[in-house]
Structure 1
């Protein structure tokens, strides 16, 4: 273990040695192992958007083995997916990369802003996962039920020695569309995930919009024009950096934008990227080259 990783783990007071060992598995894996930075491949988009919208542009990606192999060959920190995706390659790739079982999911036809619990802590243990992953929607009318669900699952995961990753995506309620990516709302979402006991927090990169009327006076003197400054505030909201905060890659975008996001996350003190569609929807060699460059950026090599 490197001094950087030890310093990160030391911030997780009250956390069991077993959970810290699984966090260390992720932090010490791949080309960024030991640096304190992470790049994670998430492939839960089949649930969220359907198979054609997720994989038709790169048909090889219909095969769950494709994603395991991509994450391993790219030297990533972990691979996150729903139950069926992980089961479909669990034997072939056992022990080759830490996995995160996404235990709740939605679909694009639903009218409520919610997700169903689709897997268990027992499934995560059976598959040798390092962590469970769970999405909450701060702002949704279902948020209180989601908070109760992750409270119970997180308690069970902690007892079993598994880490908890919370995807915290503001949506619904009185939030405007711009408000979903507002800086004050994103910081609130990151803080809420930390308060719920997340060991790793996944949020979206925020804009400089301030949504809450009550929050506007508190932000008026700050300079949040740069994305790196906004990332720095998200890290501040994550218990002043005492919790790992990684940022979503979002919808498919141009390579230059992906690389700039990585630079801004690095410069703002974020711990890394959890990037799916921007990699697996590209041809394999192109995705590997993109991920290699992202890793170099996080290493400070460019």
Structure 2
């Protein structure tokens, strides 16, 4: 174990050695292994957006093995996906990349802002996963049900020696569309994930917008135009950097924007990127080249 990884794990007081071992498996794997930085491939968009919207632009991506192989060949830290996708390659790729089983999912037709439980801790153990993943929607009228669900699943995962990753995406309720990416809302959402016991927190990169009227005084007088500073504040809100925080790649965008986001995450003290559509909606060659450069950025080589 490297000093960088040991320093991260030392911050997880009250966490079992078995869970720390799973976190170490992720932190020590791949081309960023030992650096304290992560690049994770998440492929749950088939549930969220449908297969055509997700994969038609790059047809090989309909095959779960394509994503496993991408994570392996790119030397990524982990691969996260729902039950069916992980099952479809679990024997072929056993031991080649740490996996995270996404336990809840939604679809683009639903009118309520909520996700259904689509996997279990037992499934994660059976598939040899390092962690479970779960999405919450702070702001949704159904957030309290989701909080209860992840509290129970997190306790079950901890007892089984698995780490927990929480996707914390503010949405619904009185939040405006701009508010979903607001700095104060994003920091609040990351803090909620930390309070719920997340070992790894996944959030979106925030804008400089401040949504909550009650919070504007606290943010007054500070220039939030620099994205790295906004990342730093989200990390600060995650127990002053005592929790691993990775940032979503978001909607498809140009490579220059992807690379600049990674630089800002790095410079702001974030732990890395969890990036899906911006990889698998490109050709394999282009995706591997992009991931190679992302890893170089997080290794301070670019």
- The reply to whether TM is greater than 0.5 is yes
Q: Give the shorter-chain TM-score range.
A: over 0.9
Q: 1:73 Cα shift?
A: 0.2
Secondary structure, aligned partner of 2:69: helix
In structure 1, the residue matched to 2:227 is: 227
Q: 1:222 Cα shift?
A: 1.6
In structure 1, the residue matched to 2:78 is: 78
Superposition pairs of residues 105-116 of structure 1, within 5 angstroms: 105-116=105-116
Aligned-partner Cα distance in 1 for 2:113–2:232: 28
Aligned-partner Cα distance in 1 for 2:223–2:230: 9
In structure 2, the residue matched to 1:12 is: 12
In structure 2, the residue matched to 1:236 is: 236
The one-character-per-residue Cα deviations of 1:76-120 (angstroms, maximum 9, x if unpaired) are 000000000000000000000000000000000000000000000
* Shift >3 Å, 4+ stretches: none
Secondary structure, aligned partner of 1:285: helix
1:211 maps onto 2:208 in alignment:
no
Aligned-partner Cα distance in 2 for 1:248–1:8: 21
Q: 1:16 Cα shift?
A: 0.2
Secondary structure, aligned partner of 1:164: strand
Q: 1:223 Cα shift?
A: 2.0
Query: Which stretches in structure 2 are left out of the alignment for 5+ residues?
Result: none
Aligned-partner Cα distance in 2 for 1:53–1:269: 33
Aligned-partner Cα distance in 2 for 1:108–1:230: 29
Superposition pairs of residues 59-208 of structure 1, within 5 angstroms: 59-208=59-208
In structure 2, the residue matched to 1:26 is: 26
Alignment RMSD: 0.3
In structure 2, the residue matched to 1:248 is: 248
Secondary structure, aligned partner of 2:129: coil
Q: 1:154 Cα shift?
A: 0.1
Aligned-partner Cα distance in 2 for 1:154–1:95: 24
Aligned-partner Cα distance in 1 for 2:56–2:249: 19
In structure 1, the residue matched to 2:288 is: 288
Secondary structure, aligned partner of 1:214: helix
Q: 1:224 Cα shift?
A: 1.1
Aligned-partner Cα distance in 2 for 1:49–1:134: 17
Aligned-partner Cα distance in 2 for 1:266–1:106: 31
Aligned-partner Cα distance in 2 for 1:139–1:32: 34
Number of residues of Structure 1 aligned to a counterpart in Structure 2: 302
Aligned-partner Cα distance in 2 for 1:223–1:127: 46
In structure 2, the residue matched to 1:257 is: 257
The one-character-per-residue Cα deviations of 1:171-192 (angstroms, maximum 9, x if unpaired) are 0000000000000000000000
Aligned-partner Cα distance in 2 for 1:60–1:118: 25
Aligned-partner Cα distance in 1 for 2:223–2:31: 34
Aligned-partner Cα distance in 2 for 1:200–1:123: 20
In structure 2, the residue matched to 1:299 is: 299
The one-character-per-residue Cα deviations of 1:45-73 (angstroms, maximum 9, x if unpaired) are 00000000000000000000000000000
Q: 1:221 Cα shift?
A: 1.6
Aligned-partner Cα distance in 2 for 1:181–1:251: 13
TM-score (norm 2): 1.00
